[in-house]
Amino acid sequence: MPPDLLNLPSYRVLGVDENEHDYRISAESLDPPKECPHCHSVHLVRFGRRDQMVRDLPMHGKRVGLYIDTRRYRCQACAKTFYEALPDIDDKRLMTIRLTAWMGKQAIKRTFSSIADEVGCTEFTSRAVFSDYVNELERTTRFETPTWMGIDEIHLIKPRGVITNIQNNTIVELLKNRNKDTLINYLSNLGNKENIQYVAMDMWAPYRDACLTVLPQARIVIDKFHVVKMANEAMEKVRKGLRDRLTLKEKRGLMHDRCVLLKREHDLTDGDSLLLSGWLKNYEELGLAYRLKEDFFKIYDCVSPDEAQGSYLMWKQRVTPAIAEAFHDLICAWDNWTPWVLEYFNHPVTSAYTESLNNLIRVMNRLGRGYSFEALRAKILFAEGARKRLNTKPIRKNREMNGSPELGFALFCAPDAGTKARKPRPTKLEKSIQMENLELNCGSDISTLVDLIKNGLL
Ligand SMILES: [Zn+2]
């Protein structure tokens, strides 16, 4: 039997038994205690022993139990007795520390019960080990505070808040709900929150109010995507309202052609145009709704807030009473959120970000079954393959562009592989992170998360 079977340098293997499912490895610590833990006297005598069973990493498809011959001592100075401390063992879980670390990582991509089966512990323990692992990651990880922050909704069992870094295309936090207090609590505890310049969000008043309270310097931007999708919804309402007046055959035809109605005019094929003109000619309301939908999208071609507001007011006058109800939500949204909707024309949010986040929202329902929110949150925030670490190489170009050496612009993100760059002098924040031995990262890359979920790797 090889002496390094265990590959745990602080133990000596005394014997190995195995059956179909289990290895039973007897071992002893190579590190006897040097002094009494109570009075630090070095005058110790042996005072019995016991076998301590500890779980270790599964090996060759079998569960591994270490039976550690644990020695008991009596201190001649203070007369107290004690068992030797076991190195590399998590006393709380009766597992090797390397096993708990492995279980934590495994739980990001596997169910608790499958890990419990493989290791030979209960599902309860498997969950508890994972919870410890996540707490440790929380303690040692700092996500870079985005200069451009996105706050959106994502469905994980129920609606949750998702905080993103728009410039890096990453997720930096998942909030358990969409309440104002939850967001205020999160934002208040962020480091460098005064560096947040823009917050892009959907039209959800608790988010706006939380940002106005905690981030007075940040500009709130309603992303184009959230507004124009309401124009599509308005047109759909008109289409559905039409159904009652149609024959069964016409109804089927209209259902079939709905995707043509939702297409942008410039994306229509010749065949599409022919289909569309038929519907629009025969049904005046649908014709108007389509035109209004298209022209609403065109407002977003404006280059300034004033121009956009002017176009919108002209557009609004064309909404006739016959279809006013269908367009009511869209008009209310613009009128109630005007300053923040118009802010988009000063600071358009990149469409690449919105698109990848929507891709993620679409595949998200493949996750979720059998996991708690906490586990799902950890999967997303701490998925190893998706983590963007902060590379400390400064980009001169960005410094010049921005004119200031702020953290958000002075650093850039690189995927895990990382580039070998000459190290610049660390900033104050980097120094404190190094001193506290923390890892600063930019969050989970959204596109990578989508790929991991699609391939069943998360
Ligand atoms: Zn003692």
pLDDT tens digits for 56-109?
Answer: 999 999 999 999 999 999 999 999 999 999 999 998 999 999 999 999 988 877
Rounded to the nearest angstrom, the distance between the alpha carbon of 31 and the centre of ligand 1 is: 18
Rounded to the nearest angstrom, the distance between the alpha carbon of 96 and the centre of ligand 1 is: 28
Rounded to the nearest angstrom, the distance between the alpha carbon of 72 and the centre of ligand 1 is: 13
What's the token pair of residue 194?
Answer: 């005064």
Q: Which residues partner with 77 through β-bridges?
A: none
Query: What pLDDT was estimated at residue 386?
Result: 79
Rounded to the nearest angstrom, the distance between the alpha carbon of 91 and the centre of ligand 1 is: 22
pLDDT classification of 438: cutoffs 50, 70, 90: low
pLDDT classification of 269: cutoffs 50, 70, 90: confident
All residues at 6 or more sequence positions from 301 whose CB lies less than 8 Å from its CB, including other chains: none
Residue 268 has pLDDT above 50, yes or no: yes
Residue ranges per structural domain of the chain: 1-87, 91-143, 148-222+351-454, 224-346
- Higher local confidence (pLDDT), 182 or 266: 182
Residue 448 has pLDDT above 60, yes or no: yes
pLDDT classification of 423: cutoffs 50, 70, 90: very low
Rounded to the nearest angstrom, the distance between the alpha carbon of 47 and the centre of ligand 1 is: 13
What whole-number distance in Å separates Cα of residue 63 and Cα of residue 426?
46
pTM of the predicted model as reported, rounded to 2 decimal places? 0.74
All residues at 6 or more sequence positions from 382 whose CB lies less than 8 Å from its CB, including other chains: 108, 134, 137, 141, 444
Rounded to the nearest angstrom, the distance between the alpha carbon of 74 and the centre of ligand 1 is: 8
pLDDT classification of 351: cutoffs 50, 70, 90: low
What whole-number distance in Å separates Cα of residue 314 and Cα of residue 189?
44
Q: Where are the alpha helices (DSSP H) in 394-440?
A: 396-402, 407-410, 428-435
Rounded to the nearest angstrom, the distance between the alpha carbon of 14 and the centre of ligand 1 is: 30
Rounded to the nearest angstrom, the distance between the alpha carbon of 78 and the centre of ligand 1 is: 4
Rounded to the nearest angstrom, the distance between the alpha carbon of 38 and the centre of ligand 1 is: 5
Rounded to the nearest angstrom, the distance between the alpha carbon of 170 and the centre of ligand 1 is: 55
Query: What pLDDT was estimated at residue 344?
Result: 94
> pLDDT by residue (tens digit) across 108-161?
778 888 999 999 999 999 999 998 998 888 888 888 899 999 999 988 888 999
- What architecture does CATH give domain 148-222+351-454? 2-Layer Sandwich (3.30)
pLDDT classification of 28: cutoffs 50, 70, 90: very high
Rounded to the nearest angstrom, the distance between the alpha carbon of 411 and the centre of ligand 1 is: 54
